[in-house]
Structure 1
């Protein structure tokens, strides 16, 4: 592929400005003046014929073009840094950026991170959480863990673990529940996946009562509200074992329903790195050894 004269200095300044979120902080990292940063960004915008940042009263806001360019540059500069470290004879610390569904992060991953870092000190694992909505390339990530059916267009995926859903509620509410139909007497807290409660009642052979409780996009928020006594939430009990062990939540019925499972995914057209392969094997092996 023919490459035009790449404005490497301007591209580096842009990458730092995006990562830092301001020209002032970028100037501090690069040890130049803020005016120099602004000049390089203006030069790059002129060369590309597009605007990369909007200067607003709330601060620096990247445009869609800027968001598209950033992950490509960040990945490229990280790759160059790894090779330069090898050539320089320094110990190779590989940065691995993973977006993780908040429920999985809190309920399973975070308590085990110390063992991963102890086993693989050469990997700088950086976790960012989300409510199951993530764009790997746009967000500058290497991989992501999310809940679903595994149909992730343009990505390779590895199934990690199932997380069947079951009603959980505070102990004082659980004491009032003898049969699934009794759930119709209390508030049923809902996620944005509207078919979950009807699916669970169908699995028990019980007509589903009207489901009119508040809707949340976070299972952690649902669990906290259920623990406060506000109602029952349909949750993956394996992710909230700590709540059950602490007596904050109880599982009144054994019946469960599957709405998917957790998957690790990454872009199909991106070569996997050693750190990505190590993290994938660790996740799969760690879970297999526990079940």
Structure 2
């Protein structure tokens, strides 16, 4: 049994799909005479006409249709397998270091916007208790005093806190009055640069029954602090920018006066020159923070 030479197979399938020798030639990026030659080879292999030539385009004969139905599936499957097996070029990978609070409460709700704007980039978020850049060319969003950072650091969120709690804890109280409820603390190392409950109460000269502290809660990550507040377990300090979305949805409500420290907050920092990919992330973070490009 003589085996059929299949070198013309893709050309025949493309002619069947296009219904035109010239269109098939354009799709395959070859000349029309080359397409005609391959069709003649196919018809010679089978000894029957596979195409009906018309004034404009071609139709498949019954024999051509039977052959096309087999080969079209095969060509499609081969192309899909080749796509699966070929090594894919790695997308440019970016790393952004930040802390748990910023990554979960500010970045995650917006991350789909960056991915939609830059599908060609692969972004790795590295959340740490104390974030900072680790290598040349990397980028971080850090909470710090302005004086601790270089001139290139860009403040994207000044520190401003307001007590927040579940709506049920705040019901019936006058505006600005701190509910008589457990305080939810974020544990931090001595000398932390952000507001905590003791510094907040001192700054606003708000008195509190010392015995009330027996029912307070303490967590080592801010995400857990907010989860506890959402669950109605007490009152937490809410950082503007991090809890705004929850306040807008009335999942949390303000439960006391605001306190701010403009020289502190979240800053965007980087080391070394930024390539095009890093510049795209830098500009996007600035824009999402409401800053002009730069």
Return the TM-score normalized by structure 2.
Answer: 0.56
Conservation of the 8 A alpha-carbon contact between 2:100 and 2:223:
yes
Please show how residues 49-198 of structure 1 align to structure 2 within 5 Å: 93-131=91-129, 133-137=130-134, 142-152=138-148, 156-175=152-171, 177-178=173-174, 182-183=178-179, 185-191=180-186, 192=188, 193=192, 196-198=196-198
Larger Rg computed on CA atoms: 2
Tell me how large the CA RMSD over aligned residues is. 3.4
* Distance 1:141-1:106 versus aligned 2 partners, 3 A rule: farther
* Distance 1:189-1:107 versus aligned 2 partners, 3 A rule: same
Deviations 1:60-97 (A, max 9, x none): xxxxxxxxxxxxxxxxxxxxxxxxxxxxxx98942111
Q: Secondary structure at the match of 1:111?
A: helix
The match for 2:7 is none
CA distance in 1, matches of 2:288, 2:149: 27
CA distance in 2, matches of 1:217, 1:176: 31
- Asked if 1:250 corresponds to 2:253, the answer is yes
Q: Secondary structure at the match of 2:241?
A: helix
- Asked if 1:265 corresponds to 2:269, the answer is yes
Conservation of the 8 A alpha-carbon contact between 2:177 and 2:255:
no
* Distance 1:234-1:141 versus aligned 2 partners, 3 A rule: farther
CA offset at residue 175 of structure 1?
2.0
Return the TM-score normalized by structure 1.
Answer: 0.56
CA distance in 2, matches of 1:154, 1:180: 37
The match for 2:34 is none
